[in-house]
Amino acid sequence: MAKTPAGKPLPYQNPQLPVEQRVADLVGRMTVEEKVDQLRTAFSAVSHLLDAEGSFDPEGAQKRDRENLGIPPRKPRGPRDMAEFNNTIQRYAMEETRLGVPLITVGEALHGHMATGGTIFPQAIGLASTWDPELVERVYGVAAAEMRVRGVVHALTPVLGLGREPRWG
């Protein structure tokens, strides 16, 4: 992980500094490629670290040409396997990359956590037809908990009322 020449943590690593100052320091240090990798999310950002079956392979990554590699197939993973996979990739990102920045892990939560072993609920329109906001909140609370234990920090969820959104077409 990056340090000052004196071995001290850099400003973005100092939790005592204001968030705005830490973010400005980190973003100022990042290359365009590092910024793009963060925006691409963890799975695509580390695709060059995975073997043909989608398993983590940091040694093999040294030998592969990152620019010419497609995203490998996703390997079905249950909750424990996915948590271990995400922990391994995050450990690599934090300990073996230039700035030690964790990656954004993403999961689909259209109607529950869409993953092996995830709980599936009715689609958003079906939940909306219950007219029960507390029920919808409980449903997505379950999805959030299932995602969190797997190491997912960013959920892709319905955010538009398509039936009422004139720009959607």
pLDDT in tens, 99-134: 988 888 888 888 999 889 999 999 888 888 999 999
Query: Hey, how many other C-beta atoms are within 10 angstroms of the C-beta on 45?
Result: 20
C-beta separation of 104 from 154 below 8 A: yes
Mean pLDDT of the chain: 80
Tens-place pLDDT, residues 57-82: 777 655 544 443 334 446 678 899 88
Which pair of tokens denotes residue 40? 């691409």
Instruction: Note the pTM of the prediction, 2 decimals.
Output: 0.72
**How far from chain centre, in Å, is Cα 2?**
22
Which comes out higher in pLDDT, residue 85 or 168?
85
DSSP string, 111-153: TB--STT--B---HHHHHTTT-HHHHHHHHHHHHHHHHHHT--
